[in-house]
A and B are shown apart, each in its own frame.
Chain A
C-alpha cells in the first residue's frame, strides 16, 4: 500500500470492524449503563469459532458468518442470563467486576482449548485486488464494508420498526419508566446482549480473515478499541459509535502511515485521552450536560468490616517474621516473598479501587514504571538499590498520577477503561522507547537488593526485607485511612456529588490517592526488578492487574488487612494445590465471579 487513498480505505475498513464491536457496546451501555468488558472476549470466541468452521468444517462463507453470529449470540445470552442478571439489584461496582471476570474466564477457556499460539484464518475469498482511483480494494474489504452496512441497516430497522426495538429504545431512555409501562427489561437485555454478541463475534472472524491470523491477545485489544470508539461517539449513542469507529480507524491508519505499525495503538489511546479531556460525553454531546441521575445506589457493597484485634495482627506478623528461623524450605520463603510483593500491589489497588472507588485495570503499569525506574537508576546512575527502589516508588506515584489524571472527572466504568488504556500505553512506550528502556530486549543484570552497603542475597534476608517494607506500607496506609483523607476518599467514593457540594475537590483527592497508591505499587515493582535481575515489557502484565483486583475483592474493598490476607491466600493456595500456571488466571476469574455474586463485601468486609 502506498497512496493516501489506500490508507483511507484501510482506515474505513478497520473502522467498520471496530464499529461492529462498538455498536454492541453502545447498545448494552444504553440499556444497562454498563461497559461490557467481555465484549472483546466474545469477539475472540467469534474468531475461533470462525476458525473451526473454516479450517475444520470447511463451511462456505455465508454459512460461516451465520454459524459465528449464532454461536456468539448464544455466548452473549449465557453471559446475560448467568453473569449479569443475578446482579441486577446489586451495587454498581458488581456488574463491572462481573464482566471483567467473565472476560478473563472466556479468554482463558479459549487459550486452554486452542493454545496461545497464533493460527491462520483463511478468508475463503479470491485473492484479487481491484483498482479504485489511485488505490486498490479487495473482495474482503468489500465483504467487511458489506457486513458493516447490512448490520447497520438491520439494526436500524430493528430499533425503528419492531416492538422489541422500541422496547430497547424506551429502556435506554428511561429504564424505570419503561418497566412501569410493562416493558420486559430482561427480554430487552437479552435482545441487546444477543445482538451485541453476534456483531462482536462476526467482527472477530472478519478481523481474523483480514489479517489471516488470530490469537488470544485479540480480546483485550478489541475491548479497548471498541470502548475507545464508543467513548468517542458518546457512550450509549449507537450512530455515534459508528462514526467514532470510522474516525478511530482513520486516525490509526494515517498514524501508521506517518510513524509505522508499532504506533497504531498509541494513536487509538491518544484519541481516547484527548476526547476524555475535551469532550468527556463524546463528540456529539456537550460536555456541560448535567451529571446523570439518579445516583442513589451505593458503589460498593455496604458492610461492617470484620474487626481483627490488634494482638492477633501482632502475633501474625511476629509469626511470619520468625518463620525463616525455623527449618522451612526455600520454596515456602519464595512463595511468601511473592505474596508480600503482591501484597504491596494489593495495598495500592485496595486504596485506589476500594477506598477511592477508582477500579484500576492497569495497575501492573505502576509496577512496570517502578521496576524500570529502579533498575535504570541502579544500572546507569549507580544509585544504591535501596534508594533506587524508593526512586521507583516516587516515579510511579508521579507518573502514574499524571497519566491517570485525565480520567478524574469521569465516573466508575470510565476510570477502568482509562486505566486499561494507560496500562497499554505504558507497555507500548517501554517497547518503543529503545534508547531508554532497551525496547524488546529488556534490561538484564539488574543488581541485587542492598541496604546500607550489605547485599541482600540470602532468601531469608530478602524475605525479611520485603515483609518489613510491606508492613511499613500497610501501617502508613492504616494511618492514612484514619486521617481526614481516609474519610474524604471514602466520601467521594460513596457520593461524589455530595462530596463536591461539601468542598471536596475530586482532582485533588483522586490525585492524592493515586500518589499514595502509586508509591506502594512502584516500590513493589522496584523490589521485584532487583529480585528477578531481568525485566522486559511483558514482565508486568494484565495478569498481575487482575490477580491484584481479585485479591482486593477477596479481602474486602479498602481493607488493608484483607489485601494482605488475600495475597497470601491467592499466592499460597495455588502453590499448595500445585495448580498449573495456565489454569491460574481461569481460577482467579472464577473466584472473582463467585465473590461478586455471593460475597461482594469480601472476606473481611469493605471499609
Chain B
C-alpha cells in the first residue's frame, strides 16, 4: 500500500497529440485519497481526452500516470477497471439493449470471483463451464450482486428502481446518466471519474445529482469530476483545475480560480460572469 499522504492519482507531464493539435499538454495533477477535484474549461480544452488517458482508452505520447504509487501509464482499460478505476462517459454510453439491472451488473464484472477463477489459459474455459453449470457458489454470487445492484439503484430514489427490467434504450437521457453512475458504483471504485454527470439535466435533476456526488464524497470516495455547471463545481470541489487548449491554466480552491484573470479570459468572460450574475440574482 502506498503511503497515506502520497496522492492516490498523480499525473506528470501527461501529453497527447493528435496530428498538429496537442489535446493534452504537459498536465500535472495530484489527487489525494478522499479528495474531489473538478476539471473545468471550455469545450475542446482536452478534459475528456485527459480522462481517456487516465482510464486507458487512449495512450499518452508523453508523461506518466501513477495510481496508488504504481505506474499505470498505457495499461489497458480492462486492467485499470480491475485496479478499481471507474468512469462515466460524456455522451452516455449505456448498453442500449441491456436492462437497467444488467447494465449495472456489468459494472460489477471485475468483482466476479466464483464464476471467473483466476487461472491462466483454462480460466476462460472454466468460466464458460461454470456459467453453464452454475454451482451453488456461482448462483450465490450472482444473487448477492443483484441485491447490491438494487441497493445502488435505491440511491437514485424512484428514478431507476421501477425501471429495473427495462432496456436502457427506452430510458430518458437523465436516467441513462444515472444508470452510468450506478454502473460505475457497482465496480466499488477506488477512483471515480465523472464526465459531465449533469449534462442535459434540468435544475431539479442537477440538484439531485449534486447531492449524490456530495454523498459519495462524504463516504470517502476519491473523485475526479468534469463539469460545466460552476455552482456545483464550487460547492463540491476541494480544488478546481482549469484547462484551456490542452494546458492547465489555473489550479486552486474554487473561489480563487474563478477570479483568476486567465480563467475569465479563457471563457471570454461569458461563462463565469454569466453564472455570477445568475447566482447573485438568486
Chain A residues whose C-beta falls within 8 Å of the C-beta of B170 in the assembled complex: 302
Tell me whether B91 and A296 are in contact (CB under 8 A): yes
CA of A312 to CA of B183 in the docked complex: distance in angstroms? 36
Tell me whether A484 and B142 are in contact (CB under 8 A): yes
Bitwise, A562-582 to B at CB < 8 A (1) or not (0) is 000000000000000000000
Interface status of B140 (Cβ within 8 A of chain A)? no
CA of A476 to CA of B131 in the docked complex: distance in angstroms? 10
Distance to closest chain B CB from A606 (angstroms): 6
Chain B residues whose C-beta falls within 8 Å of the C-beta of A497 in the assembled complex: 57, 93
Chain A residues whose C-beta falls within 8 Å of the C-beta of B132 in the assembled complex: 476, 479-480, 483
Instruction: From the candidates A296, A300, A504, A511, name the one contacting B106 in the complex (CB within 8 A).
Output: A504
Instruction: From the candidates A304, A500, A502, name the one contacting B76 in the complex (CB within 8 A).
Output: A500
A-B contact pairs, 22 of them (CB 8 A): A294-B91, A296-B91, A298-B96, A298-B169, A483-B131, A484-B105, A490-B97, A491-B95, A491-B98, A494-B95, A497-B57, A498-B93, A500-B78, A500-B81, A501-B57, A501-B87, A502-B106, A502-B107, A503-B78, A503-B110, A504-B78, A515-B125
Tell me whether B78 and A505 are in contact (CB under 8 A): yes
Instruction: Please give the residue numbers on chain A whose beta carbons come within 8 Å of chain B beta carbons, in ascending order.
Output: 288, 290-291, 294, 296, 298, 300, 302, 304, 476, 479-480, 483-485, 487-488, 490-491, 493-495, 497-505, 508, 511-512, 515-516, 606-607
Residue of B55, B58, B77, B105 most packed against chain A (CB within 10 A): B77
Chain A residues whose C-beta falls within 8 Å of the C-beta of B95 in the assembled complex: 490-491, 494-495, 498-499
Distance to closest chain B CB from A493 (angstroms): 8
Chain A residues whose C-beta falls within 8 Å of the C-beta of B57 in the assembled complex: 290-291, 497, 500-501
- Of residues 79 to 123 in B, which have CB atoms within 8 Å of A's CB atoms? 81-82, 86-87, 89, 91, 93-98, 102-103, 105-107, 109-110, 112, 115
Tell me whether A516 and B78 are in contact (CB under 8 A): no
Chain A residues whose C-beta falls within 8 Å of the C-beta of B86 in the assembled complex: 501-502
Interface status of B190 (Cβ within 8 A of chain A)? no
Residue of A300, A476, A505, A515 most packed against chain B (CB within 10 A): A505
Distance to closest chain A CB from B230 (angstroms): 26
Among residues of A, the one whose C-beta sits closest to the C-beta of B93 is A498
Tell me whether B169 and A302 are in contact (CB under 8 A): yes
Interface status of B148 (Cβ within 8 A of chain A)? no
A484 touching B131 in the complex, CB below 8 Å, given contacts A490-B95, A502-B106, A504-B106: yes
Distance to closest chain B CB from A353 (angstroms): 14
Chain B residues whose C-beta falls within 8 Å of the C-beta of A494 in the assembled complex: 95-98
CA of A304 to CA of B132 in the docked complex: distance in angstroms? 25
Among residues of B, the one whose C-beta sits closest to the C-beta of A293 is B91
Instruction: Please give the residue numbers on chain B whose beta carbons come within 8 Å of chain A beta carbons, in ascending order.
Output: 18, 52, 55-59, 76-78, 81-82, 86-87, 89, 91, 93-98, 102-103, 105-107, 109-110, 112, 115, 124-125, 127-128, 131-132, 134, 142, 167, 169-170, 183, 187
Distance to closest chain A CB from B196 (angstroms): 15
Chain A residues whose C-beta falls within 8 Å of the C-beta of B128 in the assembled complex: 480, 485, 512, 515-516
A504 touching B109 in the complex, CB below 8 Å, given contacts A483-B132, A483-B134, A516-B128: yes
Chain B residues whose C-beta falls within 8 Å of the C-beta of A476 in the assembled complex: 132
Tell me whether B131 and A485 are in contact (CB under 8 A): yes
Among residues of A, the one whose C-beta sits closest to the C-beta of B123 is A508
Tell me whether A512 and B127 are in contact (CB under 8 A): yes
Distance to closest chain B CB from A276 (angstroms): 19
Tell me whether A302 and B97 are in contact (CB under 8 A): yes
CA of A302 to CA of B142 in the docked complex: distance in angstroms? 26
CA of A476 to CA of B76 in the docked complex: distance in angstroms? 32
Chain B residues whose C-beta falls within 8 Å of the C-beta of A500 in the assembled complex: 57, 76-78, 81
CA of A304 to CA of B128 in the docked complex: distance in angstroms? 26
A606 touching B105 in the complex, CB below 8 Å, given contacts A294-B91, A503-B81: no
Tell me whether A502 and B110 are in contact (CB under 8 A): yes
Among residues of A, the one whose C-beta sits closest to the C-beta of B108 is A502
CA of A505 to CA of B106 in the docked complex: distance in angstroms? 12
Tell me whether B167 and A304 are in contact (CB under 8 A): yes
CA of A351 to CA of B171 in the docked complex: distance in angstroms? 26
Among residues of A, the one whose C-beta sits closest to the C-beta of B116 is A484
Tell me whether B131 and A298 are in contact (CB under 8 A): no
Chain A residues whose C-beta falls within 8 Å of the C-beta of B142 in the assembled complex: 484
CA of A497 to CA of B89 in the docked complex: distance in angstroms? 10
Chain A residues whose C-beta falls within 8 Å of the C-beta of B112 in the assembled complex: 484
Chain B residues whose C-beta falls within 8 Å of the C-beta of A294 in the assembled complex: 91
Among residues of B, the one whose C-beta sits closest to the C-beta of A479 is B132
Distance to closest chain B CB from A164 (angstroms): 26
Chain A residues whose C-beta falls within 8 Å of the C-beta of B89 in the assembled complex: 498, 501
Distance to closest chain B CB from A190 (angstroms): 30
CA of A498 to CA of B91 in the docked complex: distance in angstroms? 11
Chain B residues whose C-beta falls within 8 Å of the C-beta of A480 in the assembled complex: 128, 131-132
CA of A502 to CA of B134 in the docked complex: distance in angstroms? 23
Tell me whether B55 and A501 are in contact (CB under 8 A): yes
Tell me whether A485 and B127 are in contact (CB under 8 A): yes
Distance to closest chain B CB from A503 (angstroms): 4
Chain A residues whose C-beta falls within 8 Å of the C-beta of B77 in the assembled complex: 500-501, 503
Tell me whether B87 and A499 are in contact (CB under 8 A): no
Tell me whether A495 and B134 are in contact (CB under 8 A): no
Chain B residues whose C-beta falls within 8 Å of the C-beta of A606 in the assembled complex: 97
- 11 more A-B contacts (CB under 8 A) besides A298-B169, A495-B94, A500-B57? A294-B91, A300-B97, A479-B131, A483-B115, A490-B98, A495-B93, A501-B57, A502-B110, A508-B124, A516-B128, A607-B97
Chain A residues whose C-beta falls within 8 Å of the C-beta of B58 in the assembled complex: 290
Chain B residues whose C-beta falls within 8 Å of the C-beta of A298 in the assembled complex: 96-97, 169
CA of A493 to CA of B128 in the docked complex: distance in angstroms? 18
Tell me whether A501 and B169 are in contact (CB under 8 A): no
Distance to closest chain B CB from A155 (angstroms): 25
Among residues of B, the one whose C-beta sits closest to the C-beta of A508 is B124
CA of A105 to CA of B48 in the docked complex: distance in angstroms? 45
Among residues of B, the one whose C-beta sits closest to the C-beta of A300 is B97
Distance to closest chain A CB from B238 (angstroms): 25
Distance to closest chain B CB from A518 (angstroms): 12
CA of A512 to CA of B56 in the docked complex: distance in angstroms? 24
Residue of B59, B105, B125, B131 most packed against chain A (CB within 10 A): B131
